[in-house]
Amino acid sequence: MIEISHVNKWYGPNFQVLKDCTTRVAKGEVVVVCGPSGSGKSTLIKCVNALEPFQEGQIILDGIKVNDPRTDLPKLRARVGMVFQHFELFPHLRIIENLCLAQEKVLGRSHDEAVARGEKLLERVGLTAHASKYPAELSGGQQQRVAIARALAMDPIAMLFDEPTSALDPEMISEVLDVMVDLAHEGMTMMVVTHEMGFASKVAHRVIFMDRGEIVEDALKTEFFGSPRSERAQQFLSKILSH
């Protein structure tokens, strides 16, 4: 589904953020990307739907080359859902309008169709009562669940999560993770940048560990948590699992 091969990316002439990154996410697979901050995890996941350009290598998404100048990027992006660290709901639109906008403008659905789909997804994330509120009236956890619903409303073939819980208060993390776990169990293809190792051990098939722009470890979940091969991954794990 997602094939990343030999991706190199520089900011300016000297600072390399991604170094020869190669990995793949199969259909129905859940892959967790972790690593210290500044290791390039978010940059890598944003390269997948071309929110970030990269200079070398290639990424193929469902058979379409992302970094081909002839690729219709808006059309491609519409097929992959993305959830951001800071939710990025549209503050000037009501919750239901947040869910409908792209359905109508990008997929060309009628307003009634879009609303019906939006309401169904709001029900799924348990926020039906908030449909006509504005994002600022919701808690962080609720906003992030709306953001997931907004992405799902486009009927995506895969979902990208960029640190979906790092901006949340601790007591709101689980309500968001619960939605993500359900998605994973339904067989959604997911690439998730997160530090939530509980989530990783529960639903991930594979774990990718990145450090300084490199994919240091790319292993099955059991291998990764059982005995990471690299020293850096061992250190990282012992640090975040020790508390």
Contact footprint for other proteins (CB under 8 A): 49, 51, 73-75, 77-82, 84, 86, 88-92, 101-102, 105-107, 136, 150-151, 154
Phi, psi of 80 (to 5 degrees): -120, 125
How far apart are CB 136 and other proteins at their closest, in Å? 7
Nearer Cβ to other proteins (34/50): 50
Compute the residue count for the chain. 243
Nearer Cβ to other proteins (49/165): 49
SS3 percent helix, strand, coil of the chain, rounded to 5, is 40, 25, 35
How far apart are CB 93 and other proteins at their closest, in Å? 8
- Pairwise CA distance, residues 38 & 43, whole Å: 9
Nearer Cβ to other proteins (63/226): 63
Please count the other Cβ atoms lying within 10 Å of the Cβ belonging to residue 188.
Answer: 19
How far apart are CB 49 and other proteins at their closest, in Å? 6
CA distances from 14 to 9, 10, 47, 53 (A): 10, 7, 19, 16
How far apart are CB 74 and other proteins at their closest, in Å? 5
Kindly tell me the sign of the dihedral angle through the C-alpha atoms of 149, 153, 157, 160.
Answer: negative
Nearer Cβ to other proteins (117/150): 150
How far apart are CB 57 and other proteins at their closest, in Å? 21
SS3 161: strand
How far apart are CB 92 and other proteins at their closest, in Å? 5
- Paired tokens of 30: 């859940």
Nearer Cβ to other proteins (98/221): 98
Q: Which of 207, 218, 158 is nearest to 22 (CA)?
A: 218
- Pairwise CA distance, residues 28 & 105, whole Å: 28
Nearer Cβ to other proteins (106/241): 106
**23 beta partners:** 4
